[in-house]
Amino acid sequence: MQNTIAMRRNKKIALVAHDNKKQELFEWAKFNCKLLAEHSLYATGATGQLLKSRLGLNVTHLESGLLGGDQQIGSRISEGQIDFVIFFSDPLEPQPHDADVKALFRIAVVWNIPVACNRASADFIISSPLMSTVYERKVPDYSKYRARLAVRGVEGDEFASLDETAATHWSREWRPKPLLDESSSWAHFSLKPAPGSPGNPKIFSFMAAVWKQICTSLE
């Protein structure tokens, strides 16, 4: 089962550009300035300052990408406050916050958010007839995933105390007892060969000694 989120006529658009792509995004925004002015805009760092000061657009200014701006956009996506993302990324330069960029793209996929990564895809999105209409964006039903987390003792971002987790109980209840001698290792773990099978006593003695050392280290 899928749920939907209504994208109203007044779209909430995130605008982001890497340093070498800011001028290209500025030129694209200038060309589409009249249309963009009809929507709610969010932009990171210097991109937001550029659009606001030179084009007079009303922009909600976020942090620079290096300071968490991409994560701010991702947070707004998960809260239903961003409808789509225009991100002019630079494919030829390494980015110090590349992990944040990947996280932003991932969360856009999670919530079925349209993303334009270059001028051509941005043109297709901005010229779509859906820009001026209400669009019911389908999002996957994550109720089973949330229920699975609840079973594990996880609710949202709050983890259950380690003393209460099943894994901790398991480790306490099933922690192997240290073996005092080789004979007890045979009894507890059947390291000796099965009846009728060939076996080297030296190998089994070695295994018992190793297991004894492991158990001693766990004390």
Q: What is the CA radius of gyration of the chain?
A: 29
Counting Cα atoms < 13 Å in the Cβ hemisphere of 150 gives: 6
Q: What is the largest CA-CA distance in the chain?
A: 88
- Give the residue from 141, 138, 107, 114 showing the smallest Cα distance to 11: 114
Angstrom distance (rounded) from CA 134 to CA 171: 53
Length of the chain: 219
Residue 36 burial (C-beta neighbours within 10 Å; 0-12, 13-18, 19+): buried
Is residue 210 within a helix (H) or strand (E), and if so which, with residue range?
A: helix 201-218
Tokens standing for 44? 């990171």
Question: Is 100 considered catalytic here?
Answer: no
Residue from 19, 70, 141, 163 carrying the catalytic annotation: 70
Catalytic positions, please? 70
